[in-house]
Amino acid sequence: MKLEGANNADREYFVRHCAEPSLKVLVGKPIVSRSTGSWVIPVSRRFNNAADRFVGVVLATIELDPVNQILTTFEIGHQGALALALSDGTILVRRPFAVENLGKSLAGTPLQQSIATRASDT
């Protein structure tokens, strides 16, 4: 794994932490890791210096392959689907797996509206 000279300042998590001082922890959309080439979910936290000025981010990543393996243990039927999504409806991982679904938004869809309605009933 080569990290020397790595620069992730263009990544969404870095840009958002830089621009939004009140943003603490961010679970981002799935991305391809530049160090491993694998699909990952970035989990980041803003890092400030002693003067409370932004100096970077602390980053952890969750590899999607093991998450996909866990999802395969659920019986969903022949035409079923299972997804892990952010509260804004952004799909982090879905079964059946398809790259084109990663990061796709469910916002405004009947599924998302149904979930929101059920959540407000609890």
Q: What is the pLDDT of residues 28-61, one digit of tens each?
A: 999 999 999 999 999 999 999 999 999 999 999 9
Is there a domain that residue 1 lies in? Answer: no
Residues 23, 12: Cα–Cα separation, whole Å: 13
Domains contained in the chain, number: 2
Could you list the residue range(s) of the whole structural domain that residue 70 is in? 65-120
Tokens 């003067």, residue? 51
Q: Do 33 and 61 form a contact (C-beta atoms < 8 A)?
A: yes
**Pairing relationship of beta strands 31-32 and 82-85 according to DSSP bridges:** unpaired
Residue 53 and residue 96 in one domain: no
Q: What is the pLDDT of residues 88-112, one digit of tens each?
A: 889 999 998 889 999 999 888 887 7
For residue 42, the Cα-to-chain-centroid distance in whole angstroms is: 6
Residue 42 and residue 74 in one domain: no
